[in-house]
Amino acid sequence: MEFGVFHSGHVPARPDPDAQRRAEHARLLDEVAVAVAADRAGFKYSWFTEHHFLQEYSHVSASEVLMGYVAAKTERLHLGAGIFNVTPPVNHPARVAERVAMLDHLSDGRFELGVGRGSSSTEYQGFGIPDADLTRELFDEALPELMRILAEAPYSFEGRGFSMPPRTVLPRCWTVPHPPLWLACGSPATFEKAGRLGMGALCFTMGDPEDLAPLIDTYKAAVAECTEPVGAYVNDNVACVSMLLCLDDRDRAVDTFRHMGASHYQSLVVRWLDSIPLPPEIDRSSFTVDEPSADDLYAAIRDGRRSIGAPEDVARSVERWRQAGADQLVFGVLNNTLPVDVAVESVETFGRDVIPAFDQDPVHSTARQRDAQLVDGGRR
């Protein structure tokens, strides 16, 4: 099993505009510090979201800039777009291809491409897309064309969402033939789609690891039958996003978690991401997740339902994720108000005491799968 950290740029609201600006600045630098710590601690991946207009929830709008900065400060981490929105009104496929190739070069082949179509009407309507059904059409047209842009020189296309006269998009990818591919997944249909396309599945849950097990099974069944991936090779991989607070002192971890606003971030997930269905009696705009009590947290730690506590507690939770079928566990370390020094301590403690028990292979699974399937850039 492999491990990553997730960078969302969560910035709790401040009433004063200058204080808010300073908080944004500090949080972006905090995300960099966590990535650097993860690189040293033995994590293999850093995933960077792309969101637009979602106040508090995520202030990382130009993730390619943040990834480029982190690439210069790290050595081993693979930097994942989690995700690039590839619907043309948001990001023209040619511009996506340019960013992919630039990041691939400047990270020396450590970039991985996750894609999606956006998860909030606030986002896609902000770019002139009226409804979610159109985002699906635009995405389904753009994804295979993006792969053609990365493979063909020159490239041309006449379509509904975008068109291009014959042009060679530069630079060309450093990784031959292209970086590993991932798809944002939430519903059974998207898990099946990711497997059918031969793409890794990026997903998250606010529940127990076992809640995702049926969806992971759906993905694994589909990817096992994939003979014509959308890219040049199959990335058989499920990455699940969760939370982490791993400290040597269990009681300190519980007390810290209860006061770092993690439940507020979970509330924002539901308030902003209206692609997540809710029962009709729940008001999305005021939806609130209550902060857990100490008793609730100790019970969750005992059962391995949360990656919180001392290293042995967190290892028990990781094992539940492994049993559920996850190939990679990705932790949102700063989706809260946790001070960056404590976040770094948590990452370092996890790397010291937990990672060695689950991941002894120095090679990233995405690179290993690519090398096993390809010869000189072509399929075996």
- Tens of pLDDT along 225-259? 999 999 999 999 999 999 999 999 999 999 999 99
Categorize the per-residue pLDDT at 377 as very low, low, confident or very high, splitting at 50, 70 and 90. low
Residue range 103-124: average pLDDT? Answer: 97
pLDDT of amino acid 126: 97
Residue range 206-211: average pLDDT? Answer: 87
Residue range 292-296: average pLDDT? Answer: 95
CA distance 56 to 255: 24
Dihedral sign computed on CA atoms, order 322, 328, 332, 338? positive
pLDDT tens for 66-88 read 999 999 999 999 999 999 999 99
- What domains appear along the chain, each with residue ranges and CATH number? 2-379 (3.20.20.30)
3-state secondary structure of 197: helix
CA distance 7 to 334: 7
Residue 91 scores a pLDDT above 90? yes
Residue 356 scores a pLDDT above 90? yes
pLDDT tens for 323-340 read 999 999 999 999 999 999
Can you read off the two tokens belonging to residue 289? Answer: 């997740």
**What Cα–Cα distance (Å) separates residue 244 from each residue in 138, 140, 281, 314, 348?**
35, 34, 31, 8, 12
Burial class of residue 341, CB neighbours in 10 A (0-12, 13-18, 19+)? exposed
Residue 258, φ and ψ in degrees, nearest 5:
-65, -15
Share of the chain above pLDDT 90, in %: 93
CB 313 within 8 A of CB 199: no
Torsion angle in degrees (nearest 10) through CA of 274, 275, 281, 284: -20
CB 120 within 8 A of CB 273: yes
pLDDT of amino acid 153: 96
pTM of the predicted model as reported, rounded to 2 decimal places: 0.96
Categorize the per-residue pLDDT at 25 as very low, low, confident or very high, splitting at 50, 70 and 90. very high
